[in-house]
Copies of this chain bind each other. A is one copy, B any other.
């Protein structure tokens, strides 16, 4: 679980809820801040514009990607490096075939697939191309997700503003008395509020988090590729470890170079 995302959502919405309820009570909140037509215009308009902008297939894939912002990848780079190094050691001391069972038991599918290519005795260049192509498609899929949320983060305030102008026109066109203006304007402003809230608490930060998650996932996969290529090339385990640790921030590596 990515608690930062959840706490962010809960804290953001909670703050606004409390700020309103503490001044106008729960009744006032329901009466003045919950308005279904306003939600329909802001959210519906945003989705409609997004649907024109993308294909069904792309929109559906967004939901699959969006759930990533709530999950935390278990695998860390250090664990991956340890796995690669220990498997390499075993393959050298025994034989490549000796690690076949270990590979089948690996939980990371990309690592498992990479090693299976080594077992199948595919040449280095083909392995690299095959695995790097997978990263490229992963990046494009992730980038599409970020882009769609970014787009929704642009459309939401626009439709919020649009809803407010619609409300203002309706209010002004059938103007009766001063107090009606104020009440009508309160309703009209709701869509702007919804649009700003959706964009700034959901769409834009989710797009940002997807970008960060994508970078993390790609880094792990790049370490895996480097490790598998290095193993296939017959590098000794300590060299592999040193090569892979160069992908980590200096603090996370134990320096061993000088002691060597």
Contacts and interface: CB of A to CB of B under 8 A. Distances in A.
A86 interface: no
B186 A172 contact: yes
A129 to B, nearest CB: 7
A71 interface: no
A106 to B, nearest CB: 15
Contacts of A58: 212
A240 to B, nearest CB: 15
A55 interface: yes
Given A11-B44, A172-B185, 16 more contacts: A4-B59, A8-B53, A12-B44, A12-B49, A15-B44, A19-B163, A19-B166, A20-B170, A23-B170, A28-B170, A33-B169, A48-B201, A122-B258, A130-B257, A162-B197, A175-B179
A200 B12 contact: no
Nearest to A250: B134
Given A122-B257, A258-B116, A52 B169 contact: no
Nearest to A122: B257
Interface string A5-27: 10111011001100110111000
A173 interface: yes
Interface stretch (A77-85, A88-96, A151-159, A228-236): A151-159
Nearest to A144: B212
Contact of A51 (B5, B116, B158): B5
10 contacts: A8-B48, A11-B51, A12-B48, A20-B170, A28-B170, A28-B174, A54-B212, A158-B199, A169-B193, A175-B179
Contact of A196 (B47, B129, B134, B158): B158
Nearest to A129: B246
Which of A32, A58, A173, A205 has the most chain B CB atoms inside 10 A of its CB?
A: A173
Contacts of A32: 169-170, 173-174
A85 B173 CA distance: 66
Nearest to A59: B4
Contacts of A190: 169
A47 B16 CA distance: 13
3 closest cross-chain pairs (CB), A and B: A12-B48, A8-B51, A8-B52
Contacts of A212: 53-55, 58
Contact of A48 (B15, B51, B122, B258): B15
Given A166-B19, A185-B172, A4 B54 contact: yes
